[in-house]
């Protein structure tokens, strides 16, 4: 993973500064580094398994009028797996996408939210139509008198390791004067403000992906699919460092992990890594 960081991190840092200063209506730009512990597998081939990721998010455009708003972003992340004892998942895996968010306020009590995120899921070799993936969600919110809301809808998210349709159901409310709670499926997010410059959070969410890759199998090259999914249970904090710059850190545990990939013999391997820790550090520019 250190090779990836040395090739990409300087370029990403330049993009964070340059693009964030030139977008209109920018809200937040972020760069993060995440690592998973190299641990044993509960089942499947191989001796150890872990992964690392660099992720960049930049705002592109934000417009609002009356009861509507539109926001678009640029997203880039690159993931490296370490599945020791096998010849599978040996490439650098890229997700390059443009998340688009649309919201519409319908009266005082209802809100409609639409998100679409088309992107390329690839190892950089032989990119084609089958390398295109699309996340999306349609969500409705019903606001309560106390400022909280109920939400419901459907979602398609590669973070589950596939593109199946799943329900969205949950609620959000102000638990205390400093604590905001979002509880439901597929994500739990509890935030507590200690001060204007320090905020802690607790999250439970899916964190995986789907990628198309080119695998050298004997004398030929085949297009295959790599799928990885897990659930993150983490605790972290956002700290206001200076001006618009915030620093953040997160630690936690990974549960229900699955990896499916093709090795150099053409065999489809399935592994179940054990519960293990993860860490994440990053920086954000908030506007």
pTM of the model: 0.88
Task: Enumerate the domain spans of the chain.
Answer: 2-286
Integer Rg of the chain from CA: 20
Identify the three-state secondary structure at position 186.
coil
Instruction: State the pLDDT at residue 141.
Output: 97
Taking Cα atoms as reference points, which of 101, 37, 34, 43 lies closest to residue 72?
101
Q: Which two tokens stand for residue 114?
A: 């639409």
Instruction: State the pLDDT at residue 23.
Output: 46
Instruction: State the pLDDT at residue 112.
Output: 97
Instruction: State the pLDDT at residue 49.
Output: 97
Identify the three-state secondary structure at position 86.
coil
Instruction: State the pLDDT at residue 133.
Output: 96
Check: CB of residue 135 under 8 Å from CB of residue 149.
no
- Which numeric CATH code is attached to 2-286? 2.40.160
Identify the three-state secondary structure at position 130.
helix
For residue 46, with 0-12 CB atoms within 10 Å meaning exposed, 13-18 middle and 19 or more buried, which class applies?
buried
> What CA–CA distance (Å, rounded) separates 192 from 178?
6
Question: Can you give the pLDDT of all 287 residues of the chain as single tens digits?
Answer: 444 444 444 444 455 444 444 444 447 899 999 999 999 999 999 999 999 999 999 999 999 988 999 999 999 999 999 999 999 999 999 999 999 999 999 888 999 999 999 999 999 887 889 999 999 999 999 999 888 999 999 999 999 999 999 999 999 999 999 999 999 999 999 999 999 999 999 999 999 999 999 998 877 888 999 999 999 999 999 999 988 899 999 999 999 999 999 999 999 999 999 999 999 999 999 87
For residue 22, with 0-12 CB atoms within 10 Å meaning exposed, 13-18 middle and 19 or more buried, which class applies?
exposed
> What CA–CA distance (Å, rounded) separates 105 from 54?
35
């Amino acid at each position: 993973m250190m090779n990836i960081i040395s090739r990409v991190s300087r370029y990403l840092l330049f993009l964070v500064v340059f693009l964030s200063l030139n977008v209109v209506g920018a809200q937040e730009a972020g760069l993060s580094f995440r690592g998973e512990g190299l641990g044993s597998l509960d089942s499947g081939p191989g001796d150890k398994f872990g992964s690392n990721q660099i992720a960049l998010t930049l705002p592109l455009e934000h417009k609002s009028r009356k009861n509507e708003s539109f926001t678009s972003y640029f997203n880039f992340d690159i993931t490296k797996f370490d599945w020791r004892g096998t010849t599978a998942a040996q490439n650098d895996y890229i997700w390059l996408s443009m998340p688009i968010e649309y919201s519409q306020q319908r009266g005082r009590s209802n809100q409609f939210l639409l998100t679409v995120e088309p992107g390329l899921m690839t190892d950089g070799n032989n990119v084609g139509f089958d390398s295109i993936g699309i996340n999306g969600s349609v969500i409705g919110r019903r606001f309560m008198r106390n400022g909280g809301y109920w939400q419901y809808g459907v979602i398609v998210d590669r973070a589950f390791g596939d593109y199946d349709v799943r329900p969205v159901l949950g609620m959000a409310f102000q638990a205390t004067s400093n604590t905001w709670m979002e509880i439901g499926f597929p994500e739990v997010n509890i935030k507590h403000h200690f001060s204007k410059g320090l905020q802690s959070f607790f999250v439970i969410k899916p964190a995986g992906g789907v990628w198309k890759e080119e695998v050298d199998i004997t004398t030929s090259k085949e297009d295959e699919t790599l799928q990885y999914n897990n659930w993150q249970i983490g605790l972290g904090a956002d700290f206001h460092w200076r001006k618009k710059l915030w620093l953040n850190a997160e630690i936690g545990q990974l549960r229900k992990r699955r990896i499916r990939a093709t090795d150099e013999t053409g065999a489809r391997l399935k592994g179940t890594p054990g519960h293990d820790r993860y860490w994440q550090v990053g920086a954000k520019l908030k506007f």
